Each structure stands twice: as C-alpha cells, then as structure tokens.
Amino acid sequence: MKELFRKAYSALRLKLKYAFDAISNENIKANILQAVPFWIASIVTGLTAVLYTKLFALAEWVRGWIFHTHTWLFFIITPGCFIISWWVVNRFAPYAKGSGIPQVIAAIELATPKCNSKIKKLLSIPVILVKIISSLIMAVGGGIVGREGPTIQIAGSIFRNINEWLPAWYPKISKRIMIMTGAAAGLAAAFNTPLGGIVFAIEELTKTHLSYFKTAIFTAVIIAGLTAQGFLGSYLYLGYPQINALSWWVFSIVIVVAIIAGFFGAYISRIILLVQKWKSTFKFKYQHVLYMVFCALVIACFAFLFNEDAIGSGKDLMVKALFTSEKYTAWYMPLLRMAGSVFSFTAGSAGGIFAPALSAGASIGSLVAGWLNLNASDANIIILCGMVSFLTGVTRSPFTCAILVLEMTDRNNLIFHLMLAGLIASIASLVVDKHSLYHHLKAQYVHELMHEDDEKISFSKH
C-alpha cells in the first residue's frame, strides 16, 4: 500500500510539473507575442524619425540658402509654400494640420471600437505622409514650425497601424496603450530624450497608472531611441552649454523670467485659439487663402527686414544664444518669434510648436540676461529656464518641459532651476487660461469627430 501511494504521489508531481511548465511556456509565448508589435513599431518609428530629421534639416538648409542669396524671394516663395502646404493638408488629411499632439490626445480619448473610423482620421498612413510633406514645405518657406510635435503624431500613427494589421488570432493589445506608447517613443526619437518621452506619456497623454503600460512604454522608448541613435549617433538636441558656479541669487531672476515666459506662452496660445475661432467663421476657401497669403507675407517681411533668427523653427537661435558670443538678443526678437508662431500655426498647415516655443522662451531669457548684463554662465541658466517656462505656458506640463531641456543639454546641476521655472510658469499661465493649448485643440477635434455624422445628416436634409 505504501509503495502504491508513493507511485501515485510521484505521478501527481510529474503531471503538476508538466502542467506548470505548460502554463509558464504559454505565458512566455503570450508575453513575447504581445511585445513583438511594440518592438517592430519602435524600430519603424526610430527609422522614420531619422529620415524626417534629415529631410527637415535639408528643408531648413534650403531656407537658409535662399535667405543668404536672394532674401527678396521669400515674398514669392513663402506665400506659395504656405498655400501648397495648406492645400496638401486640406485635400488629403485635414487632421494632419498643426502640431499633432492634440490629435494624439484626442485619439487616446476616442480609443474604443465604435470610434475606430474616427481614430483613423487622426492617425493613419495618409496622415504620416501629409504631415511630413506639409511641414517640410512650410520649413522651406520660412514657417515658424518644428518637427517634434509632428513626429509624435507620426509615431502614434505607426503604432496604431501596426496594431490594426495584427491577424485575428493574435493576442489582443489595447489601442489606447499602443497609441500612448507610440507618442512617447516619437518624442524620445525626435529629441533623443528617453526620460522626456516617459514623463510626457505620464503627465500629458494619460491619467492611467504607469503599471498598466510600463513595460511597453519603457521598451518602446529604448528601442526607438536606440534606432535613432544608430543612424544619427549619440547626440544632444542642443549640446553642452557652459554652466560654471551656480549662484543662489540667480534663482530670483529665474522666478522673474518664469513668470514672464509662462504668461506669454499661455497668452500666445490664447491668441492662437482666438484666431482659429475667427477663422471658423470663414465660409469660402478664398478667405482661407487670403489669410494664408497675409501670414506668409508677414513672415517674409520678418526675413527681409530683420535676420534669419526671426524665421524657421528657431533651433539656430537657441544654439547661437547658448554657444556663441552673440548671447543677447535684440528687444524685438521675442515679439517676432511669438507673432511668427501665431501666423505659422494658424495658417492651417502641418508643423509643430515645440521648437518654436523653446526658441521664443530662449529669446525672452536672452533678452533679460542682456538687460542685466549677466555673464555667459548665468545667461545660459536664464536662457534654458526661459525655454522651459514658455513651453510650460503652452503645454502645462512643467515636469516634461524641465526633463526635455535637461536631457537636451545634459546639465544635471540645473535640475532644480529648471523644475522651479516650470512650476512657476505653470502657476503664472493660470492667470491667462486654466487649460493648455493642447487641451483646447483636443476638445475641438473630439467635438468635430463626434458630431460629423450629425452635420452630414443636417446637410443632406437641406
């Protein structure tokens, strides 16, 4: 009897071992299958971000060549580029206009099976192509736009499409998590800022607890970032500005600049929304065309009457302020950068506001540093804090902005200065509006998409 029990116990142990091994193998298989789409999408995102970066740099080189050879051509080229860029968006992918970040946030909010057709209008292959083409045309024409926001919408589109292409038998992956992860990977690849991508996803894109998607977002950010680095090398978006001894008294200037830049960042956002509300009353296409021509001619005047810093994404302005002896900008430069952002962003074409906002903040910091005759090291601190503050005024994401600028420059000793600037700017911006530009635009896109069927029915009745 004892031997019988021993054999039964051994057989039971063996069966349990096989069962646990089978369960373990199934779990490993399921985890790998769920991870593969993220890996593939991250690699594609990294490669696309690299190609887009090189094309955008080429477009800005062409713009620079025009400026240094025949500046007067901007009065012809800029209106043409604005109109063509707007036509491409309006004809092929209307929701490819603007930055792209509000579209991603709207897609996350609409990420349900019944809204799949609406999400497709926000994130798709046509959106990727139109986004790239339209923004490149704007860059050639001197438009004050960036590539970073568009990269986020492009990455969200890549991740969403790969999720859609999975066969029916494949383990289901949440659309919302896929889009959020794509957006974070896009920001990481665009700026080479992996921590910024993660913080951006947590602070800006979702209120979901990180534990639900931490593995996906971490691996996507790492793979997309490494893919971009593999082609572009290990680089910083801006470089290593000179920062020597940190004076405690400089915190008082940081607070002042944060208030000014945060207020203006929010105020410019408010103006953009008011202009777009006014444009929504246009009933005929020629009104949009006339407005675009006006905006383009204003930008052309900036190029002709001032200097190259007044047009384009503004990265050259930031580099000049941080790394050359031309550290202090003229009093009118912040006004030109802010006004140019309004005219470029409201034209209806594709183009981001991240880089223009950073450059506007840099010009404010540079101006204040010049007024106070600060040395190079203290001036750089104020310039970087101005960048964080203005971008915070636009996005209301102080920690994301601080981490982005920190990773762009690798100045870890400035972490408290940058975080203080972001916090103060976030408070100052509340004086203008409780919500960010992205929040308002996202609400607008969601409203348009959710009511487009009602509009079609109303139109057919008439």
Domains and CATH numbers, the chain: 38-232 (1.10.3080.10), 250-445 (1.10.3080.10)
235: exposed, middle or buried (Cβ count in 10 Å: 0-12, 13-18, 19+) = exposed
| pLDDT on residue 392 | 94
In angstroms, rounded to a whole number, what is the distance separating the alpha carbons of residues 235 and 400? 19
Q: Residue 259: CA atoms inside 13 Å, Cβ hemisphere, count?
A: 5
Long-range contacts of 8-11 (CB under 8 A, 24+ apart): none
Give the whole-angstrom CA distance, residue 220 versus residue 34. Answer: 12
Amino acid at 253: I
Q: Assign residue 249 a region: left if phi > 0, alpha if psi is -120 to 50, beta otherwise?
A: alpha
**Dist CA 385 CA 434 (whole Å):** 22
* Pairwise CA distance, residues 97 & 351, whole Å: 7
pLDDT at site 113: 75
Query: CA 105, 137, 88, 201: dihedral to nearest 10 degrees?
Result: -10
**Whole-number pLDDT of residue 336:** 94
pLDDT score for 14: 55
Confidence (pLDDT) at 159: 92
Distance (Å, rounded) from C-alpha 301 to C-alpha 84? 20
Q: Residues 6 or more apart from 98 whose CB is under 8 A from it? A: 149, 345, 350, 351, 353, 441
* pLDDT at 191 (0 to 100): 79
Environment class of residue 34 by beta-carbon count within 10 Å: exposed (0-12), middle (13-18) or buried (19+)? middle
Measured at the alpha carbon of residue 379, what is the angle toward residues 305 and 385, in degrees to the nearest 5?
A: 90
Classify residue 40 by burial, with Cβ atoms within 10 Å: 0-12, 13-18, 19+.
middle
Amino acid at 437: L
Per the CB < 8 A criterion, the answer to whether 421 and 254 are in contact is yes
Structure tokens at 3: 């031997």
pTM of the model: 0.85
Tokens of 44: 């594609």
User: Could you tell me the two tokens for 112?
Assistant: 């349900």
Q: Rounded distance, CA 294 to CA 323, Å? A: 35
Number of residues that this document lists for the chain: 462
Tokens of 101: 């970040």
Q: What is the pLDDT along the chain (462 residues), one digit of tens a residue?
A: 555 446 555 654 555 455 445 445 556 666 677 778 888 888 899 899 989 999 999 999 999 999 999 899 999 999 999 999 999 999 999 999 988 888 998 998 888 777 788 888 999 999 999 999 999 999 999 999 988 889 999 999 999 999 888 888 777 888 888 888 888 888 888 877 777 777 777 776 665 545 555 666 667 777 777 677 676 666 667 778 888 877 788 889 999 999 999 999 999 999 999 999 999 898 888 898 999 999 999 999 999 999 888 998 888 899 999 988 888 999 999 999 999 999 999 988 888 888 899 999 999 999 999 999 998 888 999 999 999 999 999 999 888 899 889 888 888 888 889 999 999 999 999 999 999 898 899 888 888 888 765 544 443 444
Given this model, what pLDDT does residue 459 score? 38
